[in-house]
């Protein structure tokens, strides 16, 4: 039985109720909570004393003072306590054992607490107990058992109000899912935890920032495993920002180590080394897990640079810490790192012994991806010893595991070892193909060390028929990367291989500067689009130190710059203007010192989405390479004609597919649309028609009509759906920060730029960038956005070169951009570049058939959020449908949310429940002034007037949303904590504001 259930109502004193209500204090200052609880210990009721001691112990646990927590729990006598308080005491003892690494005792006590909590019943206690059990099994490397317990904990705690325990369980489950290779579930659970914390004031507490950091770090691991390395780095840096606000050196060390791991992977070894040293400085001797992981990474870095004595010293300390820990995963990582050091020292027998030990431990802890990597290492070790048959056995196991993992990085490693194995079996064609696929994959992931190793393998490949020029090029690429990384052993090996290659193969004409078969192959392979072929040609010509600019003329006669190399931006603009005049007046006399050659011209009708002609301008060419350059230009013309023919065939195929489009309810649902109107179906049909295109789209419509929903539908229907969708609100960022937010910046580019930033454009690479409120983009920034749209290149603030990106752009606005262009508030060329395809989203009053469907959908969301059973009467549905909704779908959603929040459970909503009066925003200005300011008089001081206006807007927003703080904060454009703080400042009581 529960203790409070046994007490008569009049026996529960006020202090008893306070004790009962203290409950979850994670959103408050722990020291303040401790003081309140200590003050209550004067009450002489034994069960309440035990409960208060549990709560005090919990606060000491939050503060990390485990001895103080243990002292309070030791004062509790379990015998004779009611079941609910006894369960709490057992739970607190179990939780304490968890943090002191006594996992078996934690499991034993938590299971007792779980059994009692289920009998009471007490869902919060049961959920927390399951979370402790899961965490303890995690410490014991029993990941499947940990997963089962944590899954139960998340589902149970998700139905309670205990945000602290729920978020903590989400983090633990996310980590375990990552270890088990269940990345999609890990992503889903981490998002649940992040959303729960960010939508609560507790997200700003030390506890909230700690768990947010852990959840972000887990998401970074997912991104890294999926090959999104830059995104992983960005998320790890966000996690580090969360942990910095906690001032916890252990968390900061973990964050620095995580960021260092990414820099280590992508070849920024100096930066990785500095971060690892910073992490090592912050870690105390008691933090054995993080210290051990840091030492292991430091050993890998030292070994790859040939500093084997430093690597062994770090591994000796890591071995001691790993042996003292109860983590088999940590011991496995130690053996894996030691095996890598042995391998690089060419001590293959010890390397195989350590890789085998690591593999066995990874199998025992059920980490299939790590098992695959260990088998690949064993295969490579056997190959180094000449045992091709043994290598094949290990490789087959790794390949089968990789096929089930869907891990791009792992697949690249499998391709590399598969290529080496095929070469050892004298299958040169298969081996080189696998190595080139591996190199391409590693290059796309920006894994410099692995790229260099792969090119070294290809450059030293045995067998007949491999062009010496190719092998020399591969070895020179590897040499350049090894030199950048500072890896002495591989640098010497590559130099020796180049010397041997030169000795074996005399120099021919094919090896002379200016003749490069590989570059010609690159050009002939670039048939994806005319722009791709043009950029490839420019890159090849630029490699011969010849300035080049390539322009495209479209069907409207506009001239666009596709790419330029070796020329200043102003020079390129002058060349474009000169070429425009020459195309417009071909018979006029021209200055022949500045030449333009037509690369390619279309015959007959041309689609408006493809160029009509392409033109090239070349700088000064040395006489010895002039024939080669002109041959490349002629070859580019053939390639461009192939691009044109390919595009024509694809358009015909797409037209045939589009003619068969049927927009039914299933398609609307697939696109994420809620509605039934013909206007919505027309938009869906147009989205389907462009699903195979990356054309720029401009979505127009009033505020609240669902422009972002349409943008997401376009992304979901396109071939980019598995890549990022990044939304950026141009009206939500100050003008002075806009350029950095869009294009990124380099460290030190301006005051406060203490690290590199990607910018939203590069964050969306490969996917879709949604520019909301594009009409608010400042005029000075519009030329730079136009250049990005034309060149598909971004120039981060402070960078010395532009970076190529592949992004599909969708923009949205509620303004009339044509009118803004006429008023000179928006650039005409940018407007035309954005307005390639226009989708106008009609207001809700013009598609009333959508209102009943939207209303039911919004109602379902609201009742689930408020845990009520509320239904709409036919009369209410009719009234909603007939209303004009000037705020469109957003206003409809807010109104339903307000009504549901105020309604009793099991209510049938009638028209009287809804407010169909004219919005307060449409009042005459004089009336608004009377309401905001006393006696209608505006105070003379600006600060006083602003304060009164702010108070009015907050109160009205809370009233409109029925006291829903989240929606009011969203409408006002501030965070929930800021809204709470302002309510406190202005003396606004939320319940009174709702009541009017």
List the single range of 4-18, 90-104, 588-602, 841-855 with lowest mean pLDDT: 4-18
Q: What is the pLDDT of residues 246-262, one digit of tens each?
A: 777 888 888 888 888 88
Q: At what angle do helices 408-424 and 448-459 cross, to 10 degrees?
A: 20
- Residue at token pair 């990390």: 64
- The average pLDDT across 410-430 equals 90
Q: Does residue 244 have a pLDDT over 70? A: yes
pTM of the model: 0.46
Give strand ranges (E) for 880-927. Answer: 907-909
Give the rounded distance of the alpha carbon of 322 from its chain centre. 32
Q: What is the pLDDT of residues 497-511, one digit of tens each?
A: 877 776 665 444 343
Structure tokens at 215: 């959840």
User: Strands 697-700 and 808-813, how do they pair?
Assistant: parallel
Would you state the pLDDT for residue 21? 36
Would you state the pLDDT for residue 907? 85
- DSSP H or E segment with residue 838: strand 837-840
Q: What is the pLDDT of residues 816-826, one digit of tens each?
A: 888 888 888 88
Would you state the pLDDT for residue 338? 94
Handedness of CA 454, 459, 461, 463 (dihedral sign): positive
Would you state the pLDDT for residue 10? 33
Structure tokens at 914: 């809804």
Structure tokens at 980: 């709470």
Q: What is the pLDDT of residues 550-567, one digit of tens each?
A: 999 887 778 888 888 888
Would you state the pLDDT for residue 678? 77
Would you state the pLDDT for residue 353? 94
Measured distance CA(651)–CA(608) in Å, rounded = 12
Q: Does residue 340 have a pLDDT over 90? A: yes
Band the pLDDT of 401: cuts 50, 70, 90: confident
Band the pLDDT of 991: cuts 50, 70, 90: low
Would you state the pLDDT for residue 511? 39
Q: What is the pLDDT of residues 267-311, one digit of tens each?
A: 888 888 888 888 887 776 556 778 888 899 999 999 998 888 889
Band the pLDDT of 46: cuts 50, 70, 90: low
Give the rounded distance of the alpha carbon of 169 from its chain centre. 21
What SS3 state is found at 757? strand
Would you state the pLDDT for residue 14? 31
Q: Does residue 915 have a pLDDT over 90? A: no
The more confidently predicted of residues 283 and 866 is 866
User: Strands 870-872 and 907-909, how do they pair?
Assistant: parallel
In the chain, % of residues over pLDDT 90 = 16
Give the rounded distance of the alpha carbon of 505 from its chain centre. 49
Band the pLDDT of 29: cuts 50, 70, 90: low
Q: What is the pLDDT of residues 453-497, one digit of tens each?
A: 999 999 898 877 788 778 888 888 888 888 888 887 788 888 778
Structure tokens at 844: 């809700």
Measured distance CA(486)–CA(12) in Å, rounded = 73
The more confidently predicted of residues 923 and 39 is 39
């Amino acid at each position: 039985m529960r203790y409070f259930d046994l007490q008569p109502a009049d026996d529960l004193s006020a202090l008893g109720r306070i004790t009962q209500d203290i409950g979850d204090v994670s959103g408050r200052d722990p020291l303040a909570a401790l003081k309140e609880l200590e003050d209550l210990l004067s009450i002489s009721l034994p069960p309440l004393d035990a409960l208060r001691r549990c709560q005090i112990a919990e606060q000491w646990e939050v503060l990390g003072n485990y001895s103080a927590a243990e002292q309070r729990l030791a004062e509790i006598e379990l015998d004779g306590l009611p079941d609910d308080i006894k369960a709490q005491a057992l739970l607190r003892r179990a939780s304490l054992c968890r943090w002191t690494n006594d996992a078996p005792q934690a499991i034993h006590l938590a299971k007792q607490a779980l059994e009692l909590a289920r009998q009471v019943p007490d869902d919060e206690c049961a959920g927390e107990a399951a979370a402790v059990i899961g965490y303890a099994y995690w410490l014991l490397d029993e990941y499947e058992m940990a997963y089962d317990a944590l899954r139960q904990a998340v589902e149970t705690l998700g139905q309670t109000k205990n945000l602290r325990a729920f978020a903590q369980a989400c983090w633990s489950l996310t980590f375990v899912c990552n270890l088990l290779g269940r990345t999609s579930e890990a992503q889903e659970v981490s998002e649940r935890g992040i959303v729960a914390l960010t939508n609560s004031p507790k997200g700003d507490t030390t506890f909230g920032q700690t768990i947010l950091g852990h959840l972000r770090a887990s998401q970074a691991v997912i991104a890294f495993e999926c090959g999104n390395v830059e995104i992983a780095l960005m998320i790890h840096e966000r996690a580090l920002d969360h942990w910095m606000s906690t001032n916890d050196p252990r968390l900061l060390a973990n964050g620095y180590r995580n960021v260092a791991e990414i820099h280590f992977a992508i070849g920024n070894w100096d930066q990785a080394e500095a971060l690892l040293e910073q992490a090592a400085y912050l870690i105390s001797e008691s933090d054995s897990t993080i210290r051990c992981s840091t030492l292991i990474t430091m050993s890998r870095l030292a070994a790859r640079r040939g500093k084997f004595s430093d690597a062994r010293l770090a591994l000796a300390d890591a071995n001691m810490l790993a042996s003292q820990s109860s983590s088999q995963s940590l011991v496995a990582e130690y053996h894996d790192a030691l095996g890598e050091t042995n391998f690089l020292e060419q001590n293959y027998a010890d390397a195989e012994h350590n890789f085998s030990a690591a593999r066995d431990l990874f199998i025992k802890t059920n980490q299939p991806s790590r098992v695959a990597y260990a088998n690949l290492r064993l295969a490579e070790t056997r190959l180094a010893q000449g045992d091709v048959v043994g290598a094949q056995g290990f490789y087959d196991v790794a390949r089968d595991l990789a096929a089930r993992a869907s891990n791009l990085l792992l697949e690249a490693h499998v391709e590399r070892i598969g290529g080496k194995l095929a070469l050892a079996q004298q299958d040169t064609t298969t081996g080189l193909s696998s190595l080139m696929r591996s190199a391409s994959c590693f290059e796309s992931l920006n894994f410099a060390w692995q790229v260099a190793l792969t090119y070294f393998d290809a450059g030293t490949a045995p067998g007949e028929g491999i062009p010496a020029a190719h092998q020399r090029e591969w070895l020179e690429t590897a040499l350049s990367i090894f030199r950048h990384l500072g890896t002495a052993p591989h640098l010497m090996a590559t130099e020796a291989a180049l010397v041997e290659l030169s000795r074996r193969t005399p120099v021919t004409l094919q090896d002379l500067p200016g003749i490069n078969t590989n570059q010609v192959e690159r050009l002939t392979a670039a048939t994806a689009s005319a722009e791709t072929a043009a950029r490839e040609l420019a890159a090849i010509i630029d490699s011969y130190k010849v300035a080049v600019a390539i322009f495209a003329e479209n069907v409207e006669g506009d001239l666009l710059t596709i790419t330029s190399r070796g020329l200043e931006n102003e020079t390129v603009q002058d060349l474009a203007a000169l070429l425009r005049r020459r195309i417009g007046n071909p018979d006029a006399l021209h200055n022949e010192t500045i030449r333009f050659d037509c690369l390619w011209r279309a015959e007959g009708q041309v689609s408006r989405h493809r160029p009509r002609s392409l033109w090239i301008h070349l700088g000064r060419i040395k006489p010895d390479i002039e024939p080669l350059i002109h041959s490349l230009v002629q070859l580019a013309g053939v390639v461009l004609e192939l691009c044109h023919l390919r595009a024509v065939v694809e358009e015909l195929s797409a037209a045939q597919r589009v003619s068969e489009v049927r927009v039914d309810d299933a398609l609307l649902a697939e696109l994420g649309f809620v509605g039934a109107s013909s206007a919505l179906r027309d938009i869906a049909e147009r989205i389907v028609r462009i699903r195979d295109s990356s054309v720029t789209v401009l979505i127009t419509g009033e505020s609240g009509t669902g422009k972002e929903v349409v943008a997401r539908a376009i992304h979901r229907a396109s071939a980019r759906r598995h890549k990022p969708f990044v939304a950026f609100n141009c009206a939500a960022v100050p003008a002075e920060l806009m350029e950095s937010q869009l294009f990124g910046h380099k460290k030190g580019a301006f005051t406060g730029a203490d690290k590199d930033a990607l910018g939203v454009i590069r964050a969306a690479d490969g996917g879709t960038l949604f520019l909301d409120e594009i009409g608010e983009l400042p005029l000075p920034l519009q030329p730079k956005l136009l250049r990005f749209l034309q060149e598909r290149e971004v120039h981060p603030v402070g960078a010395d070169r532009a970076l190529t990106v592949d992004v599909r752009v969708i923009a949205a606005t509620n303004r009339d951009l044509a009118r803004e262009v006429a008023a000179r508030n928006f650039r005409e060329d940018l407007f035309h570049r954005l307005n390639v395809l226009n989708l106008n989203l009609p207001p809700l009053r013009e598609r009333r058939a959508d209102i009943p469907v939207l209303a039911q959908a919004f109602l379902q969301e609201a009742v689930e959020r408020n845990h009520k059973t509320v239904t709409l009467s036919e009369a209410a549905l009719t009234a909603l449908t007939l209303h004009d909704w000037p705020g469109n779908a957003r206003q409809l959603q807010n109104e339903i949310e307000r009504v549901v929040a105020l309604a009793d459970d099991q209510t049938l909503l009638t028209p009287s429940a809804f407010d169909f009066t004219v919005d307060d925003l449409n009042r005459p200005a004089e009336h608004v002034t009377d309401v905001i300011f006393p006696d209608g008089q505006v105070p003379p001081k600006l600060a006083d007037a602003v304060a009164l206006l702010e108070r009015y807007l907050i109160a009205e927003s809370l009233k409109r949303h029925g006291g829903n703080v989240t929606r009011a904060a969203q409408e006002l454009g501030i965070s929930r904590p800021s809204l709470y703080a302002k309510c406190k400042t202005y003396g606004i009581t939320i319940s009174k504001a709702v009541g009017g």
